[in-house]
Structure 1
Amino acid sequence: MQRQQEKIHNYQVNVVLPTNYDSEKQYRTIYMHDGGNAATQAMNYIDHLIITEQIEPIILVGIVPIDRNNDYTPWETSSLLPNQPNLGGQADEYLHILVHEIKPYIDLHYATNAAPSHTAIAGCSFGGLVSIFASYYYPKVFHDYIILSASFWYDGLLPYLQGDLVTRSGRSYQKPIINRKNHRMYLYVGEIEGIYRDSAQKHMVEYTKKAYAELKKEGFSDSNLLFETHPEGTHDVYFFSPHFIRALRWLYGDKKNGSTNFD
């Protein structure tokens, strides 16, 4: 796989092109937060899956955050750590840059299929959180979502998902009505995430399951929303990476050859 680095609107962007990349073709593209950390840990295996035609060839775009506590959070709230700055709540600005600056640059300079049906967004933890908001703010840009251990414990998030008006720092937020007919989402959480925490993170698993129920109410079909857990899953890349692979198999596997079989 070929690795390239770009600087786009002050963000470092890591672009990974599939083996045998052909500039005359059009590839599916996955935009990933945190520089694409879940994919980075499994790049050789992803390459193997593409070469052996178990999944479609894909372009991976890993965006390195400038300040993830601001970039990936939907509204301002207090930090979970004492004597630390508030979480900045600038997800709307970050996603605007991703959609209107980074994605157009990638589509112009690389052989992407820019259609929503061929465009995904993926992230872990806060990266999963901001990916959820991408599905609300830009549902006509991204049709596929890989949400790994998203921070559903975030202050006010569950009420937002349940349709309540959330007001923070003088601004109000309410979940829009989204047509989920063409959306596909892979959702994952480890069953022991947050169990040793005293903060809101202790609700990680419980709130993820409640979020799944709310997403189902939005109109996802049973075939377009896959929710998985792992009985020993902790909140780290050791579990994020294999479940990213599972998401790739589910979304882009060769169903004729049975490559989506997880057993």
Structure 2
Amino acid sequence: MVHIILGAALAVLLAGGVSVSSKTTRTRKVENRKAAAEARVAVRFEVRFPAVSSPDTIYLSGNLKEAGAWRPDGMALDRNGHDLAVGVARLPAGSVLEYKITRGSWSTVEKDSAYEDIPNRLFVVPAASEHGRDGVVVRADVAAWADAAPRPASTLTGDIRFHERFGSRHLGNERTIAVYLPPGYETSKARYPVLYVHDGQNAFDAHSSVIGVEWGIDERCQELIESGEIPPVIVVAVWNSDDRMSEYTTAVDTGHGQGGRGRLYEKFLIEEVKPYIDRVYRTKRGREHTAVMGSSLGGLLSLRLAWERSDVFSRAGVVSPALWWADGEIFRRIERSQRPPKISRLWIDMGTAEGGHPEFNVDTLRRLGSLLEKKGYARGRDFMEFVAEGADHSERAWSARVGDILKYLFN
């Protein structure tokens, strides 16, 4: 059995063949390629972790279906003592596994020793022929758990109102909605444009944020409004649910085995949330004054809403979007469109250090920009394509550029 320690150099193995004209040989080559594609390698994970008093199960949550397709309770490991968990997964040979270790939720995900977020762990699954039935062993050490960190104090800034247990007949669940009101709202009779933000628990407050880091949208709005760089705006932060992955997508991703409730979430946002906000607060209700923004799957959702529901949203912040979802289904959706929607402002961006394949992510963003140009949108005027040098896929990175996004969307 071969032992692999995380952090060692990972080899990418390339296999070649000899071209011959024999039909029998060609058939064998096709069969061999098929067998190679279906080949699996037994990977044994041994995870050491800080002892916890509760009997929580330890999980791997990763990009591959076998590792839970990014569900926080993806692949359960067996506890072996108070600080060791083990489990075996049969992973596709040659695949790249990105993963984190959790205790069943993102609020109990692993952290570094300073309780900071860590990059995804990476493991390249070797060729099956190298290790045979013995497989390989991957050892990982968890430095700390997110829920063991001292929760940061509330960082709310300005006038923020909470609507808890906001129910949806379309989705059949409840969530919190937080509403930021601009300076002078209480002493004015004016109406204001509105920005709807997905993953709203991360928008305003480090205390409610999943990883203890907020976007700082409330602070940026206060600064930009008071300096006159953007007009006063209302921000509606819609918290996510445990079914986030399915609610934010309309297509099922076969690798993740999830997705497809996006139409219901769209109805929730447009038919339930927006009418309530328009009734309770002094909003400018027209499409020209309504924007939507989100990151990752929330960025993908914001792009789709702007593209398909421009009758409601004329502006969108598409931040680090998960354009890869369902094999790039969003590109096919846009390509099929005969009449481009009337989008006033569209911000699209990506960091150069996002995930295990940052070059691919940036190239995919550029592909989106080229497609928008093909559909008749002008760079700068209709959309802004921004590549954030050195930025990873995190709230901290998004916070660093949210001010620029707000200025673009509302000027």
The TM-score bracket by the shorter chain reads 0.7 to 0.9
User: Within 5 Å, which residues of 2 pair with 1:105-254?
Assistant: 105-158=276-329, 160-162=330-332, 175-194=336-355, 196=356, 203-222=360-379, 223-253=381-411
Q: From the two aligned structures, give the one with the greater strand fraction.
A: 2
How far is the alpha carbon of 1:162 from its aligned partner? 4.1
Pairing partner for 1:35 from 191, 200, 203:
200
Change (3 A) 1:125 1:19: same
Change (3 A) 1:218 1:38: farther
Q: Distance in 2 between matches of 1:106 and 1:248?
A: 20
Aligned residue for 1:227, secondary structure, equals strand
- CA offsets 1:12-46 (integer angstroms, 9 cap, x no match): 21111112114621101000100163555322232
Change (3 A) 1:21 1:178: farther
- CA offsets 1:69-117 (integer angstroms, 9 cap, x no match): 111112112355xxxxx22221111011100110010001001101101
How far is the alpha carbon of 1:156 from its aligned partner? 2.9
Q: From the two aligned structures, give the one with the greater helix fraction.
A: 1
Aligned residue for 2:325, secondary structure, equals coil
Q: Is the 8 A contact 1:131 1:145 kept in 2?
A: yes
User: Within 5 Å, which residues of 2 pair with 1:7-86?
Assistant: 7-9=166-168, 10-22=174-186, 24-35=189-200, 37-38=202-203, 40-42=214-216, 43-66=218-241, 67-80=243-256, 86=257
Return 5+ residue gaps in structure 2 as ranges. Answer: 1-157, 169-173, 205-213
What is the TM-score of this pair, normalised by structure 1? 0.81
Change (3 A) 1:181 1:135: closer
Change (3 A) 1:35 1:142: same
Range with bigger deviation, 109-118 or 10-19: 10-19
Q: Is the 8 A contact 1:72 1:127 kept in 2?
A: yes
How far is the alpha carbon of 1:51 from its aligned partner? 1.6
Q: Distance in 1 between matches of 2:301 and 2:373?
A: 19
Q: Is the 8 A contact 1:3 1:17 kept in 2?
A: yes
Q: Distance in 1 between matches of 2:386 and 2:201?
A: 21
Q: Is the 8 A contact 1:146 1:244 kept in 2?
A: no
Q: Distance in 1 between matches of 2:364 and 2:397?
A: 19
Q: Distance in 2 between matches of 1:49 and 1:127?
A: 24
Q: Which has the higher contact order (CA 8 A, sep 6+)?
A: 1
Q: Percent of aligned pairs with the same residue? A: 26
Q: Distance in 2 between matches of 1:229 and 1:50?
A: 26
Q: Distance in 1 between matches of 2:338 and 2:304?
A: 13
Return 5+ residue gaps in structure 1 as ranges. Answer: 81-85, 165-173, 254-263
Amino acid paired to 1:139 = S
Aligned CA-pair RMSD: 2.2
Aligned residue for 1:156, secondary structure, equals helix
How far is the alpha carbon of 1:8 from its aligned partner? 4.3
How far is the alpha carbon of 1:163 from its aligned partner? 5.2
Q: Distance in 2 between matches of 1:36 and 1:183?
A: 27
Amino acid paired to 1:127 = G
